[in-house]
Amino acid sequence: MVDIISDFDMARQRFERLLNIPPESRTDDELFELMRLTGNFKVFESFKMSKIHKEICRFMFCRSFERGEIIFKQGDEGDAYYFILRGCVDIYMYDVDEKGKTKLNFLASIVAGNGFGELALLYDCPRTATAIPNTKTDLVVIKKRFYTRLVKDLHEKELLSLIKFYYSITIFKKEPISNILKYCLRTNRKSLNSYEPFIQVGDHLNEYCIIVNGAIKCLVRIKINNYILRNSSLMSENDFVNYMNKLQNKNLDFKGENRPSEEDLNSVYEEVLDIMEFGEKDMYGEYFAALGRRVDVYFLPILPTDVITIKTDDLKKVNPQLQETIVKYARPIYEPDIAFRKLYANMNWEKSKKGLLNMVVGKN
């Protein structure tokens, strides 16, 4: 932790020194260093280390605020993005209580090393909250006029691409453009590495997720034992499914001559079962998000994968009828009987294939 703080302190000192240089006097080397120091700013995500990034770094500056001094208020025109070099900023939102009285609700504290206010630059909208420093605070400031002048065309192209993508998804095809634009403003994008765990069993999924490109597999852990491995080909499909359901529930109440040995009953271990694969333009996990159910499967990207997400509450606010439709048609991904029938077919096919190969090899 000491090393992290030390590294940030050094970066802050570099920031302050570079930002004290007048814009017209900043050299290419100094601008490159500012680009490197601001590379993780969310507003630069789509064009970091580019000519646009370099030009914005030329015009950014530093400003100090005293404790309690308002940086901006909810509803103000969004005119800048801020990054905290030193200090801490509290974010508040005005709300109306049941009696119609206005109250100020605390939302979060933004600490040094983080930024805020990017919505004003990205989406040309008024401030959605109020920002007040709770101690003397030094900020890096990027004025909207420089950002907009340099990246407006780029973001218009990105917005058009996102609109087209939404309209390519079946459930959004009949949405009016006004709703699609609202979804776009509330959309987040995530890039996932291959085999990067990101949704686990027991998670609460509060957003709808759609794959832009790549592929995601849905997996589940099941219990299996030696008895089922040896005897699956001798069992009917229904007997196999019944046995597997009993095994998952530890309800192996066998009696008489058909009872497996104690060794077989106790040889239980877990295997991962491949349930489904999702690809480009597929929505996944909507059953859990729409109905507020805890996730009972694993989602794992098998390729580098980009997804867009929109909060369930945000979609519901834009179009309650669409939310109702998703709830109506949402179905569980993992249905044990269906999964076990698929497993039965696969296991018997593997055994049949092995037998055929042995027979062919034996003839030769």
pLDDT tens, residue by residue, 289-333: 999 899 999 999 999 999 999 999 889 989 999 999 999 998 898
Instruction: Give the per-residue pLDDT at 207.
Output: 92
- Asked if residue 268 has pLDDT above 60, the reply is yes
pLDDT band, residue 21 (cuts 50/70/90): very high
- From the list 238, 229, 222, the residue with the least C-alpha distance to 271 is 222
34-38, 60-64, 120-124, 316-320: range with lowest mean pLDDT: 120-124
| Structure-block tokens of residue 73 | 């208020």
Q: What crossing angle do the helices spanning 51-59 and 28-37 adopt, rounded to 10°?
A: 100
Label residue 321 exposed, middle or buried (CB < 10 Å: 0-12, 13-18, 19+): exposed
* Phi and psi at residue 292, to the nearest 5°: 70, 30
Q: CATH number for the 188-353 domain, one of 2.60.120.10, 3.40.50.740, 2.160.10.10, 1.10.3720.10?
A: 2.60.120.10
pLDDT band, residue 352 (cuts 50/70/90): low
- Asked if residue 261 has pLDDT above 80, the reply is no
H or E element that contains 216: strand 216-224
Beta-carbon contacts of 23 under 8 Å, excluding residues fewer than 6 positions away, are: 58, 59, 61
Q: What crossing angle do the helices spanning 144-167 and 177-185 adopt, rounded to 10°?
A: 120
- From the list 164, 181, 160, the residue with the least C-alpha distance to 173 is 164
- Asked if residue 251 has pLDDT above 80, the reply is no
Residue 95 CA to residue 187 CA, distance in Å, equals 23
Instruction: Give the per-residue pLDDT at 213.
Output: 94
Tell me the mean pLDDT in the region 199-206: 88
- Asked if residue 248 has pLDDT above 80, the reply is yes
Instruction: Give the per-residue pLDDT at 3.
Output: 38
CA 209 distance to own-chain centroid = 8
Q: Into which CATH architecture does domain 2-150 fall?
A: Sandwich (2.60)
pLDDT tens, residue by residue, 142-172: 888 887 777 766 667 778 899 999 999 999 9
60-69, 162-171, 188-197: range with lowest mean pLDDT: 188-197
**Residue 219 DSSP code:** E
Query: Which contacts (CB < 8 Å, 24+ apart) does range 258-262 have?
Result: 260/227, 261/227
| Structure-block tokens of residue 170 | 């079946």
Inter-residue contact 119 to 91 (CB < 8 Å): no
- Asked if residue 364 has pLDDT above 80, the reply is no
Q: Output the average pLDDT for the chain.
A: 85
- From the list 340, 353, 202, 352, the residue with the least C-alpha distance to 273 is 340
- Asked if residue 8 has pLDDT above 80, the reply is no
